[in-house]
Structure 1
């Protein structure tokens, strides 16, 4: 089997053998842990560590995701000399849920995600033996990470954001969305119910998905939820959407305060988050005198939202950029 970065370009051709063999063996190395988050919610995380590693990558996943999904990403980073820590956000993955209907993607305050991540960083990352600490975030995790960095500008030696959620694609005018969300906010039965057009988790066929072009990775990710019903999350609540829009505004307002070396990777065919918001964020960083790597987002042509789970060529381009960026810092 090919080793190193070259294997990233050809893995789908032998994906079953890779997942059953090397990836399953790697997963056995994990150390799972838990801490108490805001208002007593249990927050789960996983570690992959080796005594000879002196660098760590902390992964902050997106909405509905669990660390079980990130095994392949962790494997690739580990093979390049990084320890890997991954958090499961409140209300998803193996962490505690907030509503009786556990499929509802919900949070009381978006800052609760940030508070949890701050606790995770201070308890598990800062005391560690590593010489360098890096942060890798996807989608919603990108917003969480930037808000964390606004509090702790020097926490990470470098930061890579994949399709960060700095704006959400919603097929209605902004003023209409705000009016509806403000109206539901005053009505608890609507506030904590599924946002319009969403519902409980269900397995969609590959042809209906707009997250990845990789059939192998998509089917593997769906199986995680099919095989472990407890980690299933469906659509967001109206309150989650409102909190996330407000969080995106806070991210943009504080873009100039982000001073850590930052790589922003953008999916050219993203149907989930607003790419224009990435451009504005990088422009604000540049105007403040500390531009993101390359001065603008690194665009992955043809990629859907889940860049790290895309087809080999797209994923390899992103992962190579991330590893090289971290090694430069």
Structure 2
């Protein structure tokens, strides 16, 4: 593995390092490893639009609680290969391709001799990728999910419109176009703090904005119609699968407007050994919310993982 850039704006542990990976279909990915935890290693699966540097503070929090952290840039975002000529469009040909990224990451974990046991911490789109990986044998002892994208939130009357439009776009060769209502620039630079759906913490939002200002190559805009269709298909497919047989904790904010709270509640009701923690007033990103919320997320995550060591 060749070294890759890890920008200092991550504000993560000083011991961190990044590497280039290659998926089986030759897409270049980027991973980061922050070592130091004696209790094991957390595989941190980011959401759509996200990138390694965003989770430097999470690696600090996990490190303070005894865990190392491994994370990555999924294909099509961060510094991984973008999949369209217009690299600002969030796109994937198939959600199954993200499992190629998981395989590449797990191969790197083995090659680097990263400390065991392993645990999963997955946010939003990473929650969909993580749940799928768990059903095919991802070797972790427990999992925490933050606002997992087990379905996308739409008003009921818009569901058939979203499904029909996204499916039709693929059939007509228009899957690379932006999904209607999404912007052609990064969410955090396009939306003012007072109107944002991500966090209640103005300092955190300003920090996220500074990333795009200082490293514009990290920016990703709205999803493609093709990505939307694949996300809807994956949500439907995941809903039909049984829950994995390992301990799990899921955080859901009371002000969630991006992913489907109903899909999250339905999943956790049928997850033996699973627990749903409802966070009143919290938006889509509990790990990026106020200090009190962040402490709750990382304390409870560390308690769950620590109980499995």
Whether these two folds match at TM > 0.5 is: yes
Secondary structure of 1:173 counterpart: helix
- Measured against aligned partners, the alpha-carbon deviations of 1:77-125 in whole angstroms (never above 9, x if no partner) come to 1111111111110000111100011110000110111221122123315
Q: Distance in 2 between matches of 1:138 and 1:222?
A: 19
- After TM superposition, the structure 1 = structure 2 runs for residues 35-74 of structure 1, keeping only pairs within 5 Å, are 35-50=21-36, 53-74=38-59
State the TM-score, normalizing by the size of structure 2.
0.91
When residues 179 and 129 of structure 1 are mapped into structure 2, their CA distance, relative to the original with a 3 A threshold, is: closer
Within-5 A mapping of 1:90-239 = 90-125=75-110, 128-152=113-137, 155-171=139-155, 172-188=157-173, 190-202=174-186, 203=189, 204-239=191-226
Moved more, 110-119 or 68-77: 110-119
Q: CA deviation at 1:148?
A: 0.4
- Find the aligned partners of 1:213 and 1:221 in 2 and give their Cα distance: 13
Counterpart of 1:7 in structure 2 is: none
Return closer, same or farther for 1:46/1:292 CA change in 2, 3 Å cut-off.
Answer: same
Partner residue, 2:284? 305
Name the CA distance, whole Å, in 2 between partners of 1:126 and 1:147: 23
More helix by share: 1
Q: Could you tell me which runs of 5 or more consecutive residues in structure 1 were left unpaired when the two chains were aligned.
A: 1-19
In the alignment, the residues of structure 2 paired with residue 48 and residue 318 of structure 1 have an alpha-carbon distance, to the nearest angstrom, of 19
Considering only CA atoms, is the larger Rg found in Structure 1 or Structure 2? 1
Count of paired positions? 297
Maintained 8 Å contact 1:283/1:291: no
- 1:11-68 Cα deviation digits (max 9, x unpaired): xxxxxxxxx99x84x4432111111114211010101113x72411110000000010
Q: Give the Cα separation in 2 of the matches to 1:157 and 1:291.
A: 12
TM normalised by structure 1 equals 0.86
Q: Which of 240, 243, 251 is residue 227 of structure 2 equivalent to? A: 240
Q: Is the 8 A contact 2:24 2:104 kept in 1?
A: no
Check conservation: 1:62, 1:140, Cα contact below 8 A. yes
